[in-house]
Amino acid sequence: MRYRIGDDPATGATATDDMLLLTVLIGLVVGIVLIWLARLGRQMWLMVWSVGLVLASIAYIAWAALN
């Protein structure tokens, strides 16, 4: 990517903590829905990955709440 002479690329918009929190909340909802679908379809691999997604989302939310 090219920048004009004198422009500082670090002054551009960056991701915020709120954007990351929204992504984690969406991941939590998707994980819960996928757990339900995995139970309906009796898909163990989908259940394992979905539980991992839910646990990772909960862990991040807990970490963010403590900081």
Which residue is it, tokens 């819960």?
A: 32
pLDDT tens digits, 42-61: 999 999 999 999 999 999 99
pLDDT at residue 53, rounded to an integer: 98
pLDDT tens digits, 5-46: 877 777 666 778 889 999 999 999 999 999 999 999 999 999
CB-CB contact of 54 with 28 (8 Å): yes
Which residue is it, tokens 């309906």?
A: 40
What does the block give as tokens for 14? 């960056």
